[in-house]
Amino acid sequence: MESVDPSLIVTALGMLVSIVSAAAIVRQKLASVIEQMQDMEKRLRKSDTRIDKSEVHQSTNEQRVSVLSTMLSPERRQVLHERLARLEANCETLRRDVDAHRSEYLSAHNGRHPPVPLVEEVKKSD
């Protein structure tokens, strides 16, 4: 066998050390990159959750505004005002009727309260 040149062995060992150290550096950098990606994924998920909550709140507020705009629409308000005017007119008519019946009742009532016979007593007397 031929003798191996010592400079070749030193060169080969130097290359082997370079490859091993490069692999260690790549592994360290890869671990750092994986950790950064996991952190970014967590933050992205939190952002997604906040966006989803914001969309739900926005949808709820849009529904509320829609309901309120329907309730406060001029057409709806006009109908409600007409109903209220009719109710007030009916109430005033009923008040006048009650006052008239009350004054009629008070003028007919003499203030005495004689005893009222029981139903059995009325039947016996018939």
* Domain residue ranges of the chain, discontinuous segments joined by +: 10-72, 73-108
Say what the pTM is. 0.47
Question: Digits of tens for pLDDT over the chain (126 positions)?
Answer: 467 788 888 999 999 999 999 999 999 999 999 999 999 999 999 999 999 999 999 999 999 999 999 888 999 999 999 999 999 999 999 999 998 888 777 777 676 777 888 888 777 776
Check if the beta carbon of residue 109 is closer than 8 Å to that of residue 115.
no
Task: Write the single-letter amino acid at 96.
Answer: R
Token pair of 15 as six digits: 């290359």
